[in-house]
Amino acid sequence: MKNILITGGAGYIGSHICIKLRENGYQPVVFDNLSNGHRDAVASDIAFIEADIRDRAALNKAFTDFKPVAVIHMAALIEAGTSMVAPADFYAVNTAGALNLLEAMRQNGCKHIVFSSTAAVYGNRDTGLLSETLDIRAENPYGRSKAMVETMLADFASIYGFHAIALRYFNAAGADPMGRTGERHNPETHLIPLVLQTAAGQRDHIKVYGTDYDTPDGTCIRDYIHVDDLADAHLKALGFILSSETPALEIVNIGTGEGCSVKDIIVLCKEVTGRDFAVIDDARRPGDPAKLVANPAKANALLDWQPQYPSPRQIIEHAWKYYQSTLKNTR
Selecting among 142, 213, 224, 323, the annotated active-site residue is 142
> Is 209 marked active-site?
no
List the one residue out of 69, 73, 64 whose CA is nearest residue 3.
69
- Residue 106 contacts by C-beta under 8 Å, 6 or more apart in sequence? 156, 160, 162
Gap between the Cα atoms of 159 and 151, Å rounded: 12
Residue 41 vs residues 16, 160, 317: alpha-carbon distances, Å:
9, 35, 20
Report the b/e string of 52-71 with b at 16+ CB within 10 A. Answer: bbbbeebbeebbeebebbbb
- Residue 309 contacts by C-beta under 8 Å, 6 or more apart in sequence? 174, 177, 226, 228, 229, 315, 318
DSSP character at residue 308: S
Query: Dihedral (C-alpha) 315, 319, 322, 323: value to the nearest 10 degrees?
Result: -170
Gap between the Cα atoms of 196 and 323, Å rounded: 8
Residue 93 vs residues 44, 121, 286: alpha-carbon distances, Å:
27, 17, 21
Active-site residues, by number, are 142
